[in-house]
């Protein structure tokens, strides 16, 4: 990832531009610039780097990250200032820093934002050239560009970006959570972190994985606070695939909450210290219990669910809970999707016609509602509080933002309920929560949360998370290209990914309408004349959306094969939305040109290994890995490729398609055989575990290399 892209991403996530600077802001920025670039600025006169890093592309001489949470007059204000002083050592670094880009965001906000970029170049002879950002930047519709002219190897680029925000609320405010690693794509000689706050700002903060502890600094004013830490000689990190930075790299996490009174402190939806002069470093199991004891208590108007239950004769609690979940998924989610599309297209105002609509604005509101149903039906349950594995363990939970809820319903066989969306199914837990420790909030017979204990979330296997693709392939006349008919079947977490990337609302909304006897809002909204007009407009919109879906799926499949596709068609056979084991089944037809076919005299060479899609690239760089391996979940991929051999030809080289690598980390197995005029190829690739220590990386390479080698196999079709 280039540094210009890093800057672009940071600005996209962190700031909004769209307000001109006031005189006070100009003065404030000038003061910041003097502090960062003045004669007394840290590392102002440092130009050299350690000999050990002379072969690097670039080196940070200094990187400082500074946060300010202050209360000027009767308001509150947030400011972030980051300074980087970087020496460019080769042409690649010069190219990276020759242009800065940042996204524009002109959306209306409730807050006032300011952003300022300051940049200067220091030549090897000590000459400084300050770039006039205001004059040199080129503002486009979506992004702003800033070219840095005349950069050369040996130059130092010293830049800072300043952003501030004034919230619209002042008595109680929850600032955004901050989670950052102490590292960069280049080594850092000197890293400094500073946090400045004042009275009534409550701080939860901790460092992890070897980052120094936050230290309080002496300040003259009693109501002000200053905390900091420093690091030296921080190595670069290349962010390899299958890596969780917050589990391995030095990092820090924090959140600041402002509460003007004790009453507001109690209302703060965050884990905060008891006093504003304390730093909260950890959250105990007991504090988790106290925080959620009331917040996750059963609540909600469940009349519609009661009515649904009365209409059915359920034979067990398991059957009842499962049916209720899918009913709620439709009634309170998919039932509104079509209406949202109609409203966004400005066809009509559909929500004026919905009575007793219920929306779940967050996970907590869904948990409370479903808990109310379970309480009403006298079904025992507990609430599991976990955190995604890339955050670290549940015992390190500090930010409420990182907490996730899973309902465990203690029916005959326990049922787990996690997400609530169009594709949510019973017993499908987020792959990033699976196989991790959690806290269990246990309830009494009256559904009162009564105690907390440790629990383990269930795991899934690579067999349960599988994608199977069956491709029937023939040649166009004269070996000009390929004709491919592909059916794919996805289960488990592989299914979830494909549902979200391939399906559109119309693939399942009408399926739900039929199942639950629901009616499109177009059928009952307004007068008959208006309804007919709305239907016509909607049908036109639906046609465009379906065409867009076809184009999107064509791009996805084209990317899988790294081929240009023609004559593409896509069809959803089964949505797989009512059982975790039910597959999502898709059907595709497409043709390709002769990209995988090469003529060799009277014969033809087919790059057959590429017909199972791209593989993880194994090269000298990826072979050398020092980090542990973190997978989202165990998973497997099965391919059946059936190639019709043209009349008058025979195939040779199929023995090269046989691989058999299977070990504790994963497998790649393949076989090929002839059945009449059909070449049948089968492959299976699996990642067996959630985690592999770095010592197992050579074992993973065994099957990854095998898959790469298969990917490069070519076979010959010659006249018989």
- Quote helix, strand, coil % in the chain, to nearest 5: 30, 35, 35
Rounded Cα gap, residues 297 and 448, in angstroms: 7
Q: What is the pLDDT of residue 718?
A: 95
On whether the CB atoms of residues 598 and 605 are closer than 8 A, the answer is yes
Where the chain has pLDDT below 50, the residues are 1-19, 106-110
pTM of the full structure: 0.90
Q: What is the pLDDT of residue 262?
A: 83
What single-letter DSSP state applies at residue 636?
E
Neighbours of 624 (CB within 10 A): 10
Sign of dihedral through CA atoms 324, 336, 425, 408? Answer: negative
> Which is nearest to 396 in space by CA: 304, 293, 283?
283
Cα Dmax for the chain: 93
β-sheet bridge partners, residue 198:
224
Q: What is the pLDDT of residue 220?
A: 85
Q: What is the pLDDT of residue 649?
A: 95
β-sheet bridge partners, residue 78:
69, 165
Distance of CA 520 to the CA centre of its chain: 33
On whether the CB atoms of residues 518 and 357 are closer than 8 A, the answer is no
81: its two tokens: 């200032």
Helix (H, G, I), strand (E, B) or coil at 268: coil
pLDDT in tens, 317-362: 999 999 999 999 999 999 999 999 999 999 999 888 887 789 998 9
HSE, side-chain direction, 13 A CA sphere, residue 679:
26
Rounded Cα gap, residues 69 and 712, in angstroms: 56
β-sheet bridge partners, residue 197:
225
On whether the CB atoms of residues 669 and 659 are closer than 8 A, the answer is yes
Distance of CA 535 to the CA centre of its chain: 36
Helix H or strand E segment including 486: strand 482-490
Q: What is the pLDDT of residue 620?
A: 87
Q: What is the pLDDT of residue 9?
A: 34
Neighbours of 21 (CB within 10 A): 13
| Phi, psi angles (nearest 5°) of residue 648 | 90, 5
Q: What is the pLDDT of residue 595?
A: 93
On whether the CB atoms of residues 348 and 526 are closer than 8 A, the answer is yes
On whether the CB atoms of residues 474 and 482 are closer than 8 A, the answer is yes
Enumerate residues 6+ apart whose C-beta is below 8 A from 646: 475, 479, 717
> Which is nearest to 161 in space by CA: 228, 230, 227, 79?
79
Q: Where exactly are the structural domains of the chain?
A: 3-275, 303-456, 466-506+548-719
Q: What is the pLDDT of residue 141?
A: 73
CATH class for the region spanning 3-275: mainly beta
Give me the residue label for tokens 């200067």: 120
Q: What is the 3-state secondary structure (H, E, C) of 513-561?
A: HHHHCCCCHHHCCCCHHHHHHHHHHHHHHHHHHHHHHHHHHHHHHHHHH
Neighbours of 571 (CB within 10 A): 13
Distance of CA 517 to the CA centre of its chain: 35
Q: What is the pLDDT of residue 111?
A: 53
Q: What is the pLDDT of residue 268?
A: 87
| Phi, psi angles (nearest 5°) of residue 464 | -75, -20
Fold of the domain built from segment(s) 466-506+548-719: Jelly Rolls (2.60.120)
Sign of dihedral through CA atoms 103, 106, 110, 116? Answer: positive
| Phi, psi angles (nearest 5°) of residue 30 | -60, -40
> Which is nearest to 7 in space by CA: 117, 93, 89, 150?
117
């Amino acid at each position: 990832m280039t540094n210009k892209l890093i800057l672009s991403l940071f600005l996209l996530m962190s700031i909004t531009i769209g307000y001109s600077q006031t005189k006070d802001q100009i003065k404030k920025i000038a003061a910041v610039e003097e502090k960062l670039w003045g004669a007394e600025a840290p590392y102002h006169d440092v130009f050299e780097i350690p000999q050990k890093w002379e072969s690097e592309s670039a080196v940070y001489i200094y990187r400082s990250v500074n946060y300010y949470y202050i209360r000027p007059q009767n308001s509150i204000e947030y400011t972030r200032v980051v300074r980087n002083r970087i020496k460019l050592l080769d042409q690649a670094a010069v190219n990276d820093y020759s242009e800065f880009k940042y996204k524009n965001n002109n959306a209306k906000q409730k807050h006032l934002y300011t952003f300022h970029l300051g940049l200067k170049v220091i030549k090897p002879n000590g000459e400084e050239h300050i770039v006039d950002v205001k004059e040199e930047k080129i503002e486009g519709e979506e992004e702003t560009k800033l070219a840095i002219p005349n950069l050369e190897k040996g130059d130092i680029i010293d830049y800072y970006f300043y952003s501030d925000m004034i919230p619209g609320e002042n008595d109680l405010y929850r600032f955004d959570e901050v989670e950052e690693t102490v590292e960069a794509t280049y080594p850092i000689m000197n890293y400094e972190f500073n946090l400045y706050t004042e009275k009534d700002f409550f701080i939860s903060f901790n460092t992890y994985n070897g980052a120094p502890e936050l230290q309080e600094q002496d300040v003259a004013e009693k109501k002000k606070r200053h905390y900091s830490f420093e690091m030296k000689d921080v190595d670069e990190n290349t962010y390899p695939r299958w890596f969780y930075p917050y589990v391995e790299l030095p990092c820090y996490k924090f959140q600041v909450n402002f509460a003007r009174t004790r009453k507001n402190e109690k209302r703060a939806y965050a884990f905060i210290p008891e006093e504003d002069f304390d730093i909260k470093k950890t959250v105990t199991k007991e504090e988790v219990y106290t925080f959620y004891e009331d917040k996750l208590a059963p609540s909600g108007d469940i009349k519609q669910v009661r009515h649904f239950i009365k209409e059915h004769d359920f034979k067990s609690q398991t059957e009842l809970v499962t049916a209720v979940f899918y009913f709620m998924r439709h009634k309170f989610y998919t039932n509104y999707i079509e209406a949202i599309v109609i409203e966004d297209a400005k066809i009509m105002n559909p929500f004026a016609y919905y009575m007793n609509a219920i929306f779940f604005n967050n996970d907590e509101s869904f948990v409370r509602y479903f808990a109310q149903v379970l309480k009403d039906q006298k079904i025992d349950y507990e609430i599991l509080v976990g955190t995604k594995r890339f955050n670290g363990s549940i015992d390190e939970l500090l930010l409420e933002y990182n907490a996730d809820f899973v309902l465990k319903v203690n029916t005959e066989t326990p049922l787990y309920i996690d997400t609530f969306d169009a594709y949510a199914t019973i017993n499908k837990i987020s792959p990033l929560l699976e196989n991790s420790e959690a806290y269990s909030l246990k309830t009494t017979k009256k559904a009162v949360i009564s105690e907390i204990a440790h629990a383990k979330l269930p795991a899934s296997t690579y067999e349960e998370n599988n994608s199977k693709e069956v491709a029937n392939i023939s040649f166009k006349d004269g070996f000009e290209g390929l004709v491919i008919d592909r059916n794919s079947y996805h289960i488990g977490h592989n299914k979830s990914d494909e549902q979200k990337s391939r399906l559109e609302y119309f693939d399942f909304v009408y399926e739900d309408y039929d199942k639950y006897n629901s009616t499109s809002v177009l059928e009952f909204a307004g007068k008959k004349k208006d309804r007919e007009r709305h239907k016509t407009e909607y049908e036109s919109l639906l046609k465009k959306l379906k065409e867009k879906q076809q184009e999107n799926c064509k791009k996805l499949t084209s990317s899988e094969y790294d081929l240009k596709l023609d004559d593409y068609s896509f069809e959803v056979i089964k949505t797989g939305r009512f059982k975790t084991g039910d597959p999502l089944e898709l059907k595709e037809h497409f043709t390709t040109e002769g990209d995988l076919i090469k003529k060799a005299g009277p014969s033809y060479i087919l790059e057959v290994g590429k017909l199972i899609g791209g593989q993880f690239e194994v090269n000298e760089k990826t072979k050398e890995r020092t980090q542990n391996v973190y997978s989202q979940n165990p998973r497997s991929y099965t391919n059946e490729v059936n190639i019709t051999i043209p009349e008058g030809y025979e195939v040779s080289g199929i023995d090269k398609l046989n691989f058999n690598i299977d070990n504790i980390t994963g497998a790649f197995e393949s076989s090929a055989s002839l059945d009449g005029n059909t070449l049948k190829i089968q492959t299976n690739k699996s990642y067996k575990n959630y985690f592999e220590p770095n010592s197992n990386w050579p074992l993973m390479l065994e099957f990854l290399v095998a898959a790469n080698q298969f990917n490069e196999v070519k076979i010959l079709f010659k006249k018989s």
